[in-house]
Amino acid sequence: MKVKVIPVLEDNYMYLVIEEHTREAVAVDVAVPKRVRAAFGRREHSCGPRHRRPRPSVRTPRGSPDYAAEAHPLPGALCTRAWRPNTGSHLDHLHLPNSHPFQLLEIVGREGVSLTTVLTTHHHWDHAQGNTELVRLLPGLVVLGADERICALTRRLAHGEELRFGAIHVRCLLTPGHTSGHMSYFLWEDECLDPPAVFSGDALSVAGCGSRLETTAQQMYHSLVETLGTLPPETKVFCGHEHTLGNLEFAQKVEPCNNHVKAKLSWAKRGACVQVHREGRPS
């Protein structure tokens, strides 16, 4: 399983997951299918209720560089852990450089894969507004999610439902809190030494979580602690936004004596100074 991390908009991530034997690909949270919006807040062709979220304290590079060909990161353009498959080693403290804005369909073409499915975590425009255009460009594309408000939705998923893309298994985990229909996706591959991955959208980010907008605090607690919190500890988290430094700085203000927060904040700040190669398979 290969994961392409594609930063878009101000601080979003969308992803392309590739099954390397069948060359089938699945996109996660398509905000922009073929071009990068020029400015934050520009929402042409958006669908569903719009929501305002605070401007991030950390601004990631605009565009969508092709990042770490075999990486399974704990996402964050300024603080990323990239997993080297089958080696047990890590590349820590990575920084995504400003570079040519590769776009989702360009990456699909360059990889020579067949994009068959879109998995959408929730209906907000910055995670789903690209679905309609992408379906127009790729007739027959399947768009899946747990909320009828998702743009171009083909079929609504249920909690615990399992999907299959070649050797890749997907377990659908309903994680309400940010929205009532938020779905996270837990992926693993048969007979593979790589750790499993979860695409958590706005349910979970590095050192934080999305704002609770539509559900109760009890539901959000259940999503974070009892659903996502019980996944295997080696699971790699692919979140929807880059808020790492801001989250950790806030956490340090709340708990100034927390040594775990201090260490993670130091790790994140060091990561802003190190460049990562855009191309190449980690050796």
* Residues tagged active-site: 122, 124, 126-127, 178, 202, 241
Cα torsion angle, 96, 38, 118, 172, sign = positive
Exposed e or buried b for every residue in 2-37, given b needs 16+ CB within 10 A?
A: bbbbbbbbbbbbbbbbbbbeeebbbbbbbbbbeebb
User: Chain-centre distance of CA 167, in angstroms?
Assistant: 21
Nearest of 221, 199, 164 to residue 14 by alpha carbon: 199
Q: Where are the beta strands (DSSP E) in 31-182?
A: 80-83, 90-94, 114-119, 142-145, 155-156, 162-165, 168-174
Looking at the DSSP assignment, which residues form a beta bridge with residue 172?
185
| Cβ atoms within 10 Å, residue 57 | 13
Of 155, 71, 97, 121, nearest to 241 (Cα)?
121
Written as one string, the DSSP assignment of 45-88 is: T--S-----PPPSSPPPSS---B-TT---B--TTSEEEE-TTT-
Yes or no: say if 224 and 202 are a contact pair by the CB < 8 Å rule: no
